[in-house]
Amino acid sequence: MNKNNKEEKKKKKKARAVLVVFLNKLKKKCGTFAKAEEWDKFIKDNLVPILSEFDSAIPVEWKERINNASKLKDKTKEAIDASCKLLQKNIKELIKYLPKGGIFANPLVKIILGVAVGGGIVVTVLNVIAVSVVIKNNGCRTIYPSVYSYIKIPGLVLPDAPIVDGGTGTAKVPPVKFTVTASENRINLQAFKLNFSFNLESVAIKLVFDGQALEGTRELDLGSQKTHNLDVNCL
């Protein structure tokens, strides 16, 4: 097998892994779309980037089948549900068609892909399913997010520039659920079996996530929407 064929097969394996993640997300969403606009946005945000990124790895006839399945016959909920089921069927068949094996057959990699996406394994997956957290500095000293990046979390990309008072920075994070416990100037985060804490510089620093203060214990579902807001307020 020459080098070009090896690269082509490798890309097809990546495409297969990404489509597995997309299929799982599609299954969860099917039946929840109330309007045609919601369906169209889901396809634009989640499927179109995959087809574009792996254009050379997915045969033309399969792309046509996938695109046709995603198109609505009309704007009724019945048509949306029918397209969702048909798209599931075609994605499943495409996954069977594409080669598997190698690193993407590793159970650990499948877990990473399913919950957070291995940043160094398939960057495309991160681009497709990662959510954004817009961090705003309200009256605090300059925030240096990269200082805390020694903790390697798959799919986590912190802002690459300091966030000055009044400024903002955007982090890309995996769409997982965190249990957050805040007491005085200490924050504890739990997700799956990971558990880590960090201290704020002062009790006068208040964190507000999507309009709600991080106080006591609460669950944050990062996968509930594509963009979140974290306000860092200094009193």
Same domain, 26 and 120: yes
Decide if 209 contacts 234 (C-beta within 8 A): no
Number of domains in the chain: 2
Residue 205: its pLDDT value, please? 79
Lowest mean pLDDT among 24-28, 68-72, 200-204, 222-226: 200-204
pLDDT of 4 over the 50 cut? yes
Does one domain contain both 205 and 147?
yes
* 123 in Cβ contact with 148 (< 8 Å): no
One domain, residues 116 and 135: no
Token look-up 């200490």 returns 186
**118 and 164 both lie in a single domain:** no
Residue-wise pLDDT for 99-143, tens only, equals 865 434 434 334 434 433 333 334 444 445 678 889 888 988 777
pLDDT of residue 90: 95
Same domain, 111 and 134: no
Within this chain, do residues 70 and 82 fall inside the same structural domain, yes or no? Answer: yes
Q: Report the Cα 79 to chain-centroid distance in Å.
A: 27
Residues 68 and 146 in one domain: no
* Both tokens assigned to 216: 């006591």
Mean pLDDT, rounded, of the chain: 77
Residues 145 and 116 in one domain: no
**Same domain? 62 vs 77:** yes
Of 93, 126, 159, which one is at a domain's C-terminal end?
Answer: 126
Instruction: Check: CB of residue 122 under 8 Å from CB of residue 166.
Output: no
Model pLDDT, residue 11: 80
One-letter-per-residue 3-state SS of the chain: CCHHHHHHHHHHHHHHHHHHHHHHHHHHHCCCCCCHHHHHHHHHHHHHHHHHHCCCCCCHHHHHHHHHHHCCCCCCHHHHHHHHHHHHHHHHHHHHHCCCCHHHHCHHHHHHHHHCCCCCCCHHHHHHHCEEEEEEEECCCCECHHHHCCCCCCCCECCCCCECCCCEEEEEECCCEEEEEEECCEEEEEECCEEEEEECCCCCEEEEECCEECCEEEEEEHHHCCEEEEEEEEC
Same-domain pairing of 138 and 217: yes
Q: 224 and 158 in one domain?
A: yes
Rounded to two decimals, the pTM is 0.47
Q: Is 33's pLDDT higher than 90?
A: yes
Q: Of 126, 153, 174, at which residue does a domain stop?
A: 126
Domain, as residue range, for 87: 3-126
- 191 in the same domain as 147: yes
Domain boundary among 87, 109, 126: 126
